[in-house]
Amino acid sequence: MITDNQVKRLRTYLQQGKTLGLAAAKSGMDSKTARKYRDHSKLPSEMKAEQMRSWRTRDDPFAEEWQEVERFLELNHGLEAKTLFDHLQRTYPGRFSDGQLRTFQRKVKYWRATKDPAKEIYFPQIHKPGELGQSDFTCMNRLGITIEGQPFNHLIYHFVLSYSNWETGTVCFSESFESLSEGLQNALWTRVNQRAIMTP
Place 181 in a pLDDT band, splitting at 50, 70 and 90: very high
Beta bridge partners of 133: 161
Report, as an integer, the average pLDDT of 22-27.
Answer: 87
How much is the mean pLDDT over the chain? 86
Q: How many of the other CB atoms lie within 10 Å of CB of 51? A: 7
Question: For residues 30 and 1, what is the distance between their CA atoms, to the nearest angstrom?
Answer: 11
Question: For residues 196 and 200, what is the distance between their CA atoms, to the nearest angstrom?
Answer: 8
Q: Give the DSSP per-residue string, 93-143.
A: TTTS-GGGHHHHHHHHHHHHHHTSPPPP--------TTT-EEEEEEE-GGG
Is there a domain that residue 181 lies in? yes
Please report, as a single letter, which amino acid is at residue 14. Answer: L
Is there a domain that residue 25 lies in? yes
Q: Are residues 23 and 71 in the same domain?
A: no
| pLDDT score, position 20 | 87
Is there a domain that residue 128 lies in? no
Q: Are residues 140 and 190 in the same domain?
A: yes
3-state secondary structure of 157: strand
Half-sphere exposure of 4 (CA within 13 A, CB side): 7
pLDDT tens, residue by residue, 70-82:
988 888 878 899 9
Per-residue pLDDT at 198 exceeds 70: no
Per-residue pLDDT at 53 exceeds 60: no
Per-residue pLDDT at 55 exceeds 60: no
Q: Are residues 187 and 139 in the same domain?
A: yes
Is there a domain that residue 119 lies in? no
Is there a domain that residue 144 lies in? yes
pLDDT tens, residue by residue, 118-146:
666 777 888 888 888 999 999 999 999 99
Is the CB of residue 166 less than 8 Å from the CB of residue 192? no
Residue range(s) defining the domain that contains residue 185: 133-198
Place 50 in a pLDDT band, splitting at 50, 70 and 90: low
Q: Are residues 107 and 148 in the same domain?
A: no
| pLDDT score, position 186 | 92
Q: Are residues 70 and 43 in the same domain?
A: no
Per-residue pLDDT at 148 exceeds 90: yes
Please state the three-class secondary structure of 122-135 as a single string: CCCCCCCCCCCEEE
Is there a domain that residue 57 lies in? no
Domains held by the chain: number: 3
Evaluate if pTM is beyond 0.85: no
Report, as an integer, the average pLDDT of 51-56.
Answer: 55
Q: Are residues 160 and 107 in the same domain?
A: no
Is there a domain that residue 80 lies in? yes
Is there a domain that residue 12 lies in? yes
Give the max Cα distance, the chain: 98
